Structure 1
Amino acid sequence: MAVGVGAVVVGFSAALVLDHPAADGRGSGAEVHARATPSAAPTERVKAAVASPSATRTPSLRVAPSPSTDGAASCLHVRFKLPNGPAGCKPKADICAPGAPWYVADILALCGGPTPLQAVHIISEPATGGDPGSSYCLAWTGSGEGTGKDAALLMNAPGYQCGAALVGADGQAIQADDTSVFTAIPPDCADSYPDTRMTYPAVLDFPNDGGAQPPEYVCVLANVGA
């Protein structure tokens, strides 16, 4: 879980120089300096990418809602992460939200298709003392706007600092052929937890670069519970 992320982001004054390969073999190293406040606007390309539909939507599955035990708003029966996980009852909006851990059989029919492309604005890349070739993750800052969320991009950081891991289309943190997890086009993310929303496609932009580093596409795996 992301704990004290805001303090982590503000506390770092040094930027991390990224030098990971893009899908076409080009290095995307760009020096990004942490900004004092997360106020940079997303690039027009990111706005356009997120606005575009990412998949053909399928008709919603009619599921009879089950009333909650306390008489509150109706909800649907779910499991936590896995078909045999702890049972619960959640509203459809919570089940279909990007990063949600709730398992429902045939969730694509329930939610009308896969998770739409999400925007993530990388406002800083603080050094963690790790190997630049190690796994990437996101530390959410708790800020953002309608077109995306702000985050710090970390490498080889302790899991508790990360709200989500960045993985390849095959669900692996480092792809088997040693290529980057980042791609030049939106990936078809293989869900590490099928029939949940825990893995979803995202586009990362670097607003502090002034366009020097192009947006990168990646699969995000939410860090939710045990």
Structure 2
Amino acid sequence: MWITGGWLDALATCVLFVGRGCRTVSGREAPTQCPRVARTPPVSHFSRQLSPAHARPLPFTSKISRRACSSGSFKVNYSASEGHSRCTRSRRNCVSTTAGNAEHGLVTRFGFGPGMVVQELGWDEDIDEGLRAAVVDAVGGELVDDRYGDVVDAVLLWWRDDDGDLVDGLVDSLTDLADGGMIWLLTPKVGRDNYVDASDIAEAAPTAGLATTTNLAAGPDWSATKLVSPKSSRSGRRTS
């Protein structure tokens, strides 16, 4: 089928049905509500003739209709923007959960788990806050101090060489510890200020009725030693 430019010129002439608030071609006000106006593509898109052998579907084959005259505001769908915001928040969450992975992995080796009550002794400004925060996350609650007054599942004892007699510190850490509980002794690494020699720990532990079971590197500045005690050797421990 051959399409001539003259035929398309005639087709491109839109018949406007006009209404209230709209003007006719002559400029007069129309008495009815605004209609929908059928718009056709510009004639320039189809000005050339197409042979039957190379005929292709014409673009814009379906007419696009919209109000000739409209008032008020359009509703905007912000679903895509909201989805983007959720993704942004998710990415922020991912970053938050991946930060401190080394500390969280180390705390897993410590044996801390949800619901455990952990008592912290010897806190000072020089402690590893990242490690401490990982312990809090692992147990799902804040650490308690020496004023807790009840049985605890584990003790986190920060100890430096100038803190005094290590035997006394270990005995004090047994006061609230439950049967089968554990003590993690955290001391500065060798070469750091106030580091505690391994031989001192090995000597103090049995004197306090404890046995050394595990040694770990607890971050860049601290070493961790796990100490346990037989139930029968708990002297001075609160029972309730």
Tell me if both proteins adopt one fold, taking TM over 0.5 as the criterion: no
TM range (shorter): under 0.3
Structure ID, larger Rg: 2
More helix by share: 2
Per the normalisation by structure 2, the TM-score is 0.24
Per the normalisation by structure 1, the TM-score is 0.25
More strand by share: 1
